[in-house]
């Protein structure tokens, strides 16, 4: 059984920052993380074969950070996993390059993990830059895998200042115990873009650990990475990810009794004309994999 951390113990923390062509964010991100007063920590700058000079810019900080250069753009999960592989910390923190952290961000982010052994991972409050508008105050998943950021676009206030368990955390700024990464596995590289954070949160909760939103850890997030919103590629990657996440983490009974009725109801309600082609492509690519995921889940449950 996991023991509570000693009150005086300050765990060694590894901050893993994944970069891909983030030239205009490197200095803001690294300067803010280096200013943060928490110690002991290490900062790993993991570059996914950037071509814009951002990796070279990071070498100005090489006396204070560790730089990991990947041979190609592996995507978010694999890129982070390669950084985690060389990290030495008791706690691993994932941080997007297009962020700027506030003072005390790291101390507050890891505090729930130190205080309560039932908490497996904790995530920051994300704000839009230059103001006090909420970008993320925890995540909610609909029965068919559609996701929603709590508070998105609303003014920050008391409603978003209480720590609470949530359904998922975003990978833009989260902390997780290294022991749980070793036990439950790292980010699933089958999600090259989108839903790897939801999948990881679900696995954490299914293992009996709390997933906690920690509002006293504050990060400004520029939210510029990823595929252009409303495009075919965006809708395809989004729906591919959510369907894979449902098939992987929930069984046949859930699919028939919960997912399908909700999906059909959603299709009747939504403006599906923009999404129909990428949605059908996602169905065609993921539904044939359902027997594999369900059998693997059945075997996993039997082994437990």
- How confident is residue 246, by pLDDT bands cut at 50, 70 and 90? very high
Distance (Å, whole) CA 8 – CA 6: 6
pLDDT (0 to 100) of residue 224: 66
The two counts, helices (H) then strands (E), for the chain are 11, 12
Q: State the total domains in the chain.
A: 2
Query: What would the pLDDT profile of 23-77 be if each residue is shown by its tens digit?
Result: 999 999 999 999 999 999 999 999 999 999 999 999 999 999 999 999 999 999 9
Of the residues 221, 248, 278, which one is the last residue of a structural domain? Answer: 221
Please provide residue 65's backbone torsions phi and psi, each rounded to the nearest 5 degrees. Answer: -135, 165
Exposure class string for 260-288: b at 16+ Cβ within 10 A, else e: eeebeeeeeeeeeeebeebbeebeeebee
Instruction: Judge if 45 and 183 occupy the same domain.
Output: yes
Q: Nearest to residue 58, comparing CAs of 104, 86, 17, 91?
A: 17
pLDDT (0 to 100) of residue 1: 40
Instruction: Judge if 119 and 77 occupy the same domain.
Output: yes
Instruction: Judge if 57 and 129 occupy the same domain.
Output: yes
Q: What CATH number should be reported for the domain holding residue 96?
A: 3.90.550.10
Of residues 300 and 5, the one with the higher pLDDT is 300
Question: Cis bond leading into 40, ω under 30°?
Answer: yes
Of the residues 162, 190, 221, which one is the last residue of a structural domain? Answer: 221
CA torsion, ordered 246, 243, 189, 13, to nearest 10 deg: -50
Of the residues 196, 221, 246, which one is the last residue of a structural domain? Answer: 221
On the question of pLDDT at 240 being above 80, the answer is yes
Instruction: Judge if 133 and 269 occupy the same domain.
Output: no
- How confident is residue 304, by pLDDT bands cut at 50, 70 and 90? low
Range of the domain at 260: 232-303
Residue 1 lies in a domain: no
Instruction: Judge if 197 and 139 occupy the same domain.
Output: yes
DSSP 43: E
Instruction: Judge if 262 and 217 occupy the same domain.
Output: no
Its pTM stands at: 0.92
Distance (Å, whole) CA 86 – CA 67: 11
Instruction: Judge if 28 and 130 occupy the same domain.
Output: yes
On the question of pLDDT at 6 being above 90, the answer is no
Instruction: Judge if 247 and 115 occupy the same domain.
Output: no
SS (H, E, C) 80-137: HHHHHHHCCCCEEEEEECCEEECCCHHHHHHHHHHHCCCEEEEEEEEECCCCCEEEEC
Span 256-273, average pLDDT:
91
Per DSSP, the residues of 205-250 read HHTT-EEEEEEEEEEEE----SSPTTSHHHHHHHHHHHHHHHHHHS
pLDDT (0 to 100) of residue 225: 59
Measured in whole angstroms, how far is the alpha carbon of residue 302 from the centre of its chain?
28
DSSP 255: I
pLDDT (0 to 100) of residue 272: 75
Of residues 51 and 9, the one with the higher pLDDT is 51
On the question of pLDDT at 11 being above 50, the answer is yes
pLDDT (0 to 100) of residue 37: 94
Span 134-148, average pLDDT:
97
Residue 2 lies in a domain: no
Instruction: Judge if 121 and 69 occupy the same domain.
Output: yes
Instruction: Judge if 196 and 270 occupy the same domain.
Output: no
Residue 3 lies in a domain: no
pLDDT (0 to 100) of residue 215: 98
Instruction: Judge if 73 and 159 occupy the same domain.
Output: yes
Q: Determine the longest span between alpha carbons in the chain, in angstroms.
A: 57
On the question of pLDDT at 3 being above 50, the answer is no
Instruction: Judge if 209 and 65 occupy the same domain.
Output: yes
Of residues 117 and 299, the one with the higher pLDDT is 117
Mean pLDDT taken over the chain:
93
Residue 4 lies in a domain: no
Query: What would the pLDDT profile of 147-163 be if each residue is shown by its tens digit?
Result: 999 999 999 999 999 99
On the question of pLDDT at 172 being above 60, the answer is yes
């Amino acid at each position: 059984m996991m023991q509570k951390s000693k009150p005086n113990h300050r765990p060694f923390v590894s901050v893993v920052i994944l970069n891909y062509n983030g030239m205009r964010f490197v200095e803001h991100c690294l300067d803010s993380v280096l200013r943060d007063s928490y110690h002991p920590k290490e900062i790993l700058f993991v570059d996914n074969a950037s071509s814009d000079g951002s990796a070279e810019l990071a070498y100005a900080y090489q006396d204070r950070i560790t730089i990991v250069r990947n041979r190609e753009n592996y995507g978010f999960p694999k890129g982070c996993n390669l950084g985690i592989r060389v990290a030495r910390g008791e706690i691993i923190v994932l941080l997007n390059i297009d962020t700027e952290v506030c003072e005390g961000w790291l101390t507050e982010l890891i505090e729930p993990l130190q205080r309560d052994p039932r908490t497996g991972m904790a995530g920051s409050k994300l704000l839009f830059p230059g103001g006090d508008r909420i970008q993320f105050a925890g995540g909610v998943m609909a029965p068919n895998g559609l996701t929603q950021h709590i508070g998105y676009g609303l003014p920050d206030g008391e409603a978003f200042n209480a720590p609470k368990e949530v359904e998922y955390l975003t990978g833009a700024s989260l902390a997780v115990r290294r022991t749980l990464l070793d036990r439950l596995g790292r980010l699933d590289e089958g999600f090259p873009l989108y839903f790897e954070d939801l999948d990881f949160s679900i696995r954490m909760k299914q293992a009996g650990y709390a997933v906690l939103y920690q509002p006293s850890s504050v990060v400004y997030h520029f939210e510029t990475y990823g595929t252009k919103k409303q495009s075919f590629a965006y809708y395809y990657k989004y729906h591919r990810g959510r369907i894979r996440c449902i098939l992987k983490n929930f069984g046949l009974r859930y699919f028939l009794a919960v997912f399908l009725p909700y999906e059909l109801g959603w299709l009747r309600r939504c403006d599906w004309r923009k999404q129909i082609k990428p949605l059908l492509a996602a169905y065609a690519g993921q539904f044939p994999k359902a027997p594999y995921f369900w059998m693997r889940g059945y075997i996993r449950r039997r082994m437990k």
